Amino acid sequence: MYVCLCHSVTDTDIRRLVRTEGVCTLRELSRELGVATQCGKCGRCAKEVLREAVDEVRNEMPCPGLMAA
């Protein structure tokens, strides 16, 4: 699903960045993909998808360093 129409960002894009680049904050997500930097309407949805993706990664790979983040 599209999360940010202004920058054509999908939930899959966000989940991939969490897994491959370790992105875990909206600020990092904005820097990487431009999410919530134009009209801002996607901010709430992007944050929710980001939180879900981070939680999924934490549940799959329970290591002390990742759990503390």
pLDDT at 62: 58
pLDDT at 16: 96
pLDDT at 59: 87
Helix axes 11-21, 43-60, angle to 10 degrees: 40
Ramachandran class of 49: left when φ > 0, alpha when ψ lies in -120 to 50, beta otherwise: alpha
pLDDT at 60: 82
Write out the chain's pLDDT in tens, 69 residues: 999 999 999 999 999 999 999 999 999 999 999 999 999 999 999 999 999 999 999 888 755 554 554
Give the tokens for residue 53: 């993706």
List domains and CATH numbers for the chain: 2-68 (1.10.10.1100)
3 state DSSP class of 5: coil
pLDDT at 39: 93
